Structure 1
């Protein structure tokens, strides 16, 4: 039989310590009641609102207690009914079982003490336990409320950490202001768009956000903030300190405002690109129609000119016919350029040795290069630069670039051509010693119909670029005024 427990010890034992685990506390409660009732064993059940049932929470004797629970598991319904009826002492042969509900005002039975003794419980022990029933119930309710509060706070803390992690990685700038205009939350993207650097403490006035903005941007951004703090949503655009267009959406909410900042640069660039693609599609349709209309009369002109040249008695007519043929050839070349630009590039891929292909082009153009006073410096790697490509298309592209380089050196000069391996595949470089280009000219280099030549169409480089991209390659141009121009093409492939 357990020794009686002093009343002060009962009060201290029943007071929940937040630093102890729930299981330990429930075992202490069960042990305290075991000693109050002088029982052999005591079990503590807690009411689970989720299942509307009583679940075992603690035992005065962990091993013996749990063995005992397993032996009476079929009495769960009796346990529940006893709790609903109130205090019940069930005397059975050889033992007495006590069912004691623990209730709090307004909450009903929140726990149930089940105690067993080999003999009837003493009236004095029951009277003592009755004095502490309310204290125990209040302590259990207090422990449950604090545990739930701690769990809720932990969940909110986890959620806040997750939200903060998301906020810090957003590309949009986000700033939360309280009702007084002080910064509550913010992310690096917002400060970067406002031209602010360094760590910013929270709760600083919103006026510190605009310290780096240009005057007109400061007026716009400040107006949006004041509007939202007064309950009116406002959306506007301003210029960041580094010149980027930024959209600010100032949204009022209870207790402050949210500012969402977006860098409009990428979106505007995308819109410009879409507009350019649409414009090029329209130009493509137009050039296809022009080329088609030109081809018909060209055929007639060619036929007539050939008939004139066959008539040997008309010497003067023969001379003019030769001029006609030359013009027809130029028109035909223009038509081909227009059509190449208007049509998608179709390639018939096969294994191509780029070094051999370029050597063949240089050999074919050797008389043209010699007549123009061009020296050729050619370099290739030791391994074979093999790619999958269309040899006809590739030859046309290389020949076009060589002719551009020659035209850039009217007084002659050195043409440098190289074929080497690169980390991304095979690199082809063609460089001249011409006068080079300005940055303005470079920016328009691949714009259709833009040309600095008196008789150019502005489509040659565009067609070369289309050919390179059709081979899944890339093309870049480097040029400085007075330093010449270098065109680099990189094709996916390998060397053997």
Structure 2
């Protein structure tokens, strides 16, 4: 089958299997290709699009921003990415357009549902901001208010317009101002703060606040400070009232929102304090209320449970019960009742206790639960190893990635400290660094060698973040990334560059040494015949030394010859993935798209992983460098009988037939600054693996390099 036909079939299969819609235009904006996904997203049949002008098919968008951006991609000959709302289809599309030889290719994806979710999420956060009972506000780095919620206006007494661009320093108590400024500056430097302070309302009334300041970070930079201020004036007053006298108890209950009640089971009535009536949304009354009426206020879904618990309490069991009530105004609240039995008389049993409206507390708890779930998700699904440690370096919590990285189970790590994972020769130095930086209570990053449970060491880069509770550092979060593999890949590249340099030097040395060496050998033989009476051992020594020099210069040429060192069972697909990751940035800089078409069920082969990586690196770099104007590098794998086949197909300039026949010769290269050793080394490595390497190329059409490796081992 012709290579072009194979490529067209591969291209058609590839376009049908991608998750995005695809459509291609010629230079006259006629549709020349569209995949099934694209037809579905455009609500059209393929026959309605192929060969048709896109302007005629969708005339409503002729002057839209969508077409202007497509024109921009064509005119600038550069890829463009944007999101566009198609009003005719009532659909949001995420679009990527890039020029081709024929015209323009467009990938697009329906992101309507995602957009809708983002809109809902923004509304959620806005609702939380507007409805939050505490003051929520944002300030710039100078301390000027930028935006405030209604609770801020209520708590401080200033309107939103009055607070706009007003500095927080203007209404802080003078005695508290230095402390508040300090905590603000700490938050502006990136450390969250929590503290108490007093302010003056617009009316001159003092307010005690519990304030939390956190940095506002946009694109990695701190641009301001968020604040959440809870009015704790009543709480302060309650604490003061409790300290003053027993007489203030009733008032303190009122401030705290705690009501008192007493139940007479014999009379089937309950006596309430004033606050209990208020919790139920009623005006205080003098007489008792019946138990039947109380049960009628309980939420229908909780009513049976409350009856059962009340019966248990009647039989002598103390209880702590949370349930919902429906007040007379229809509002649903959550209350908590705590009660115990008291036997006043043998024939009379009564129960007394307190009731508290915990609706806001439950809402806060729900927010905390959701926050905990987000934290747990971050821990569980993070690909990096995440651990929480106390200030002594003992592990409190670890995620699955950290378990895999170290080889220890979570339960084992919770009995260990980080010092037990550090190599013995580095333990003392690491302890000094840890103790010093922990005392400073700042984030820090270190690179170190850790020990796996199996005894092998690996290098990690660890970012340490302080855990701050109540303005105090109680521990550290650590985020660790295994950098061993990356360093091995970097070493392969360095070795490849060194090998090329050595080969180039070897060529120069061999060229400069061998010519005069030939002359010396000839004159030595001539002198030996010319002076037969001279000591012949001298001539033998000279010839031996000259032959040794010739041998050394010959060995210079094979300094870069690869020698397998460690053969193990390895997945070719995995090796390819790692090499593609390594060269991804170089490909992006060269505007080269790397496409992988790997057969998923390939068996592992017996090979030297590092040498295979060198082979794939050399071939990929050649392919990328051959596409100076960008293009697509397709890498595919497949199995045929007892061999694996790996193909690298580029869209570069190609190689002429005359030069193609010399590929692999020492010091022959098609690149301006090449050494000609890369492909020679590559061929040697493949041969050591009992494989074959073939190169097919057409000028102007690109090059395909095919590598065949045996499955059954060496």
Task: Flag whether TM exceeds 0.5 (same fold).
Answer: no
Structure holding more helix per residue: 1
Per the normalisation by structure 2, the TM-score is 0.25
Per the normalisation by structure 1, the TM-score is 0.33
The structure with the larger Rg is 1
Q: Which has the higher contact order (CA 8 A, sep 6+)?
A: 1
Structure holding more strand per residue: 2
